[in-house]
Structures are given as C-alpha cells and as structure tokens.
Structure 1
Amino acid sequence: MKLKALFASACLMVVGASAQAAEVELTLSHWVPATHMLQAGGMEPWAKSINEASGGRINITIYPASQLGAAPDHYDMARDGIVDIGFINPGYQPGRFPILAAGEIPFLISDAKSGSRALDEWYRQYSAKEMSDVYVCMVHVHDPGTLHGTKGPIQVPADLKGKNIRPAHATMARLVSSLGAASVQVPAGEMRELISKGAADMTASPWNSIYTFGLQDVTKHHLDMPFYVTTFAFVMNKAKIDGLEPQDRKVIDDHCTSEWAEKMASKWADAEAAGRQKMIDAGGHTFYKPTPDEVNLWKQATASLEGEWAAAATKAGIDAKSAWASLAETLKKYDANVK
C-alpha cells in the first residue's frame, strides 16, 4: 500500500508539472524615450499586470528609443518575430493601413482616453483585414495635437503655404501638401534635428511632446487649437501568441481589450495636455487662438480628407460608408466625438 501511495504521488507530480505552463519571455520594442509617459504610465503597468495575472509566468522586457529598430519598421519587426510586441504608428507607412487611418482625420476625435476606447472597439471589426499577419492587441490615440513652428503666424490654413512642415502621419502629410506646404515626414524622435537644422519650419505634435523631444527652445509659435490625433497600435508576433499555453493566451487576450486601450492612453494624455500650461508658465511662446470663423476655415481645408479615406478604405475591401457611420456612432457612444 505504501508503494502504491508513493507511485500515485509521483504520477500526480508529473501531471502537475506538465499542466504548469513554461515561463514566457516577451520583448516589447518601441521608439519613444524610456522617460516617455507612454512607457512609465502605460507599458510598464500593462506589463506588470500581465506578469501578475499569469502568476509570474509571463515576463515582458521593454526596449525603448529604437534600440531594436527604426520606428517605421516596428510592424514588420513584430510580424517577422524580430520582436514579440511592436508599438507602431501606422501613419509612418503611408497607404499601408488605410482603414485605421480614419482616426487620423482632424476634428474627429476629441479626447484621447475615451477616444482610444472607441477607436479600439471600432477597429476590432476590421483589424484582421489589414493587419492579418500579426495579432492586433490594441489601438489608441494621443491627446489632441496641433502645429508648432519656428515663426508665426499659425492662425489660418493660408499660413502654411510655402512652409516645410513635419506631419504626424500620412493623412496630415496630404493635408499640408494640399495647402501649398511641403511635407517632410520623419518619426517624432527626429523632430528636433529636423527643425534645428532648418529643414522644417513647423511640426505637428501634442503639447508636451515638444518638451519630450527637446523642441521647446526652437518652436515658439503655436496653433492654439485641438486639431488632430495620431493612431497607434500594439501588435504581436502571431506565431508567438498562438504558441502560448491556453492559460497564458487568456492572460494576453484579457490585456488586449478596449478597456486597456483607454488605460494605455490615459496617463500619457494627461501629461500631453499639461504641456500647454507648462509653455504658458515658461513664457516666451506665442499662441494663435483661431476665432470660430477661422476654425471653420480649418474644417473646410480638411473636409476632403474623409472622402479620400473612403476611397482608400473601399479599395481595401470594406464598405466605407458603413464603416464611417459605425466609427461616428462609437465615438458618440463614448462622448469622444468633436462636437
């Protein structure tokens, strides 16, 4: 009987060991500084929550500041398994992700927190269509940004004519070109060098990123108006995620939600919004606040972008009219639409 008990105990130990998932090490690569609030206030709490929810089985190591590759390459890096998780700005690859580009259209999303939740919820209908070769964990946006320049005025669309402008993404690149400006597109981390060398007169950016990327002493003129947002996504290597043990896959799925998209954006949004007051307090900056009529000039200047998006989205194989209506409805549901 004693021998049988020992044998039974040994069998239970083997079953228990086989049922327990192996430790999982994941790499998360991004291209903003390690000090950026997106890492401290978003990525790190997210990675910690995943580690805790998995009982310590899943560990995520974060590689900031383009250590593993250039900003525009992060989608392909995740797709090809160079990294397990890539943080991407889809607008850095013009025309590649035309459906998600809806979120780039100015005067559409009013708030980064609820707007991220809404955009993520909406995009889940379409992500498998244009990002089928990765696992799309979540999408989100930054706090509404605007234009910042080395000289003014920046008050109405006509003030952009003849300028060299660094746009935030492909949609804004088309906009500035339509207004008679030249688009000089580089990732956010290269803004400082671009402008300090005189290769660009203006850049599109949320407020505090001017400080994050060191432009506060070269961009002293600001369009004082919530203008646009930029879409972002966390995408994962499909084979890596599909190969997880069921309990670990559930942990990942539970952290790839619209609720987490809002959490990821929230502290960053607060930090960006605070940048405007920081500039006011610092002094030496000129803020150009458009009148209601001048705001309408900006809205008229951007009016064609919805039609351009619809044409590209239709070409991508979706019902653009239905998709746009769905996006508008979802933004309204979360009170994230521009009134």
Structure 2
Amino acid sequence: MKRTTVALGAILTAMVPATLTAQEVTLRLSHWIPPTISPATKGVDPWAASVMEASEGRIEIQIFPAQQLGRAPDHYDMAKDGIVDLSWVNPGYTAGRFPIYAATELPFMVEDSIEGAKAIHEWYMEYGAEQEMSDVKVCFIHPHAPGALHTQETVTGPDGVSGKNVRPAHATMARFVSLLGGGPVQVPAPEVREALSKGTAEAVTFPWGSMYDFNLTEEVPVHLDMPFYISAQVMVMNKASYDGLSDENKAVIDDHCTPEWSGRVAAGWHEDDMAAKDKLLADDSQTFNTPSEDEVAAWREAAAPLTEEWKEAVSAKGGDADAILDAYKAKLEEYGAAY
C-alpha cells in the first residue's frame, strides 16, 4: 500500500482523502532538543512509538530533533503553517502570545509535575486552547519536574538575584528576574552553557536533569532546593494534517491526545529529573540550599506582581482572569499537584 506524507497544510491534505479507511501516512514531528536527553527519550519518542504501534503500522512518525527544521521559538508556527505535521512547543518562548497559558509559568504553583500535567491539560482545554491555540490540535501538555534556581554563588532569598544576569526558563521568569533587579538573558536551552561559560549569564532557572543534559554542573554548582517553577511544553498538530487522516487514524491520534497521556509523558521526564537531583546531591562539588519559611514567604511576596500582570494581560484579551486563575488553582488542588 502506498504511504502518503502528510505535511504542508491543505495542499497535501487534498491528496489524502479523509474517507480512506486503511490509510498509511507519514507524519513529520519536529522538536528543538538533542535526541539523547530525557524530554525526547522519555517523552516524545515513546509517545510517537505508541502512536505507530496503536495504528498497526498505518501511521509512521519521522522525528527531526535539535532544531533541524527550525528554531525553538518558531515551532508553534511550523505546525500551524504546515511546515511540519507535529511540533513540540515551549509557549514561553513567545512572550505575550498565549496569555492564558502563561498561568503555568507563574512561580511557586506546582509541586507534582505528573499530576500537574493532567491538571494543566484539563484546565487548558476548557479555558484556553480554543481561545489561544485554535489553529492547531493540542495533543498533550507536560512539564518537567519543578525546576530550580542554579547559581554560581549562594542565593536563598529574592534579594540575592539583584545585579545578576540570569537565563530564565520562559517569559514570565524573565519578568520575575527583572522585578528582582536582575538581568534576563534569553537564549534557547541548547545555548545556555555557552552563555554561562562566556559570562553572559551567572545563573539559570532549569530542571534538575538539565544540569547533566547540557553539562552545567561546573558552571552553576549551587542549587536552591525548592519547587521554583515549571515550564510546560505542548505537542501540537497541524489541523489540516489531522483533518486529512482517515477516521481510523484520527481515533489513534485522539487516544494519544489526553490528560492521561500528558501525565505519562511527564512521568518519564520527572523520573529522569529526580535521578539527576539525587546524583547532584551525592556530588560533593555541588551545594544545595533550602530556603527558610521566611525566605519562601519572601519569594512568594516578590512574585505577587507577576500574577497581577498576568491578570491584566488576560483581561486585555477579554478573558475573565480571576475565574481562569481560580479554575487553574482548583484543578491543581483536585489532582494534589499544588505547591
């Protein structure tokens, strides 16, 4: 049976009749991380393998890692415009574009990333996806285990960020660094080590596993041990590519675009993050600092303006910010994921 490549939006969609029941297709999936690190090996790759297995060979997924097909900040538009069929997106790389989703970027909100992934999926599909990502199909949403602040010298309270250049995880964290008197250095994850080694940045907000994924243990060996933030990535699919599938193949994709799959993908990344943290704890060259209760309270107080700014951004787009944020917090509580 002839295999059809689905890409480039409606042009190729016309070549793939939706009524074809035994349709074989090849989907191009792009992401921007090295193929050997946990988000790929424990997240994207198993998900793609499961899709192919569940389709009994009708769906083949070709994976293009490490920005081969485009820069990290371009991945949402790559899927939207049909350059690829599927892409793994960090919405935080495009400041202001997804204001509702940016609630996931607010610090000190999530403690359990696995249950948090399910909570975020359910919340966003109800309160934000149709408003902000209606031009793609949202498949799954998954954060890493709560990330930390990694520095070259001890920082336990928010005053310690003042005067430091920090590579933030996303736009909200960049704003937080600015509020604290630091300078945000915004580069994609694969470029962080270069920024640190050249002195462009002195600290980074990153998941635990990234210390090894990007070889940063010598650059920033001091770690603030608290659930500082999450960055939740999204797998999205070009709508024309999805619409061009047979009903049989659509069902396979739908079965892999669920809160349960969000949790499953997050679990693999969480496992590797926790293993990396344990390895760091056992390394005498690494320093861990736990903030006091007063310091935790100071961090929360320092972050309060971020919530108000988030509300203003959502309200400016016509959203009921209080209701949306209350729903987000309630969903995290429902799943036992709140910090």
TM-score, L = length of structure 2: 0.92
1:8 is aligned to none
2:16 is aligned to none
1:22 is aligned to 23
1:15 is aligned to none
1:69 is aligned to 70
Gaps of 5+ in 1: 1-17
**Preserved CA contact (<8 Å) 1:89 1:231:** yes
TM-score, L = length of structure 1: 0.92
2:190 is aligned to 189
2:290 is aligned to 289
**Separation in structure 1 between the aligned mates of residue 301 and residue 261 of structure 2, nearest angstrom:** 34
User: After superposition, where does 1:216-231 map in structure 2 within 5 Å?
Assistant: 216-231=217-232
Secondary structure of the corresponding residue to residue 189 of structure 1: helix
Task: Give the CA deviation at 1:19.
Answer: 5.3
**Separation in structure 2 between the aligned mates of residue 30 and residue 155 of structure 1, nearest angstrom:** 34
**Preserved CA contact (<8 Å) 1:166 1:203:** yes
The question of 1:35 aligning with 2:26 is answered no
User: After superposition, where does 1:115-130 map in structure 2 within 5 Å?
Assistant: 115-125=116-126, 126-130=128-132
1:167 is aligned to 168
User: After superposition, where does 1:1-339 map in structure 2 within 5 Å?
Assistant: 20-125=21-126, 126-150=128-152, 152-338=153-339
**Separation in structure 2 between the aligned mates of residue 217 and residue 61 of structure 1, nearest angstrom:** 35
Task: Give the CA deviation at 1:299.
Answer: 0.8
**Separation in structure 1 between the aligned mates of residue 310 and residue 180 of structure 2, nearest angstrom:** 18
Secondary structure of the corresponding residue to residue 224 of structure 1: strand
**Preserved CA contact (<8 Å) 1:164 1:182:** yes
Percent identical among aligned pairs is 49
Gaps of 5+ in 2: 1-18
Q: CA RMSD in A?
A: 1.2
**Separation in structure 2 between the aligned mates of residue 294 and residue 329 of structure 1, nearest angstrom:** 25
**Separation in structure 2 between the aligned mates of residue 139 and residue 22 of structure 1, nearest angstrom:** 27
Tell me the matched-pair count. Answer: 320
* 1:238-259 per-position Cα deviation (integer Å, ceiling 9, x unaligned): 1111111111111111110110
* 1:118-137 per-position Cα deviation (integer Å, ceiling 9, x unaligned): 00010001201111211111
2:9 is aligned to none
Q: Which has the larger radius of gyration?
A: 1
Task: Give the CA deviation at 1:320.
Answer: 1.1
**Separation in structure 2 between the aligned mates of residue 222 and residue 45 of structure 1, nearest angstrom:** 30
Structure 1 residue ranges, 4+ long, deviating more than 3 angstroms after superposition? none
**Preserved CA contact (<8 Å) 2:93 2:170:** yes
* 1:167-186 per-position Cα deviation (integer Å, ceiling 9, x unaligned): 00001101110111011111
**Preserved CA contact (<8 Å) 1:100 1:231:** no
* 1:267-301 per-position Cα deviation (integer Å, ceiling 9, x unaligned): 11111122222112121112221111111111111
Task: Give the CA deviation at 1:316.
Answer: 2.1
**Separation in structure 2 between the aligned mates of residue 218 and residue 21 of structure 1, nearest angstrom:** 53
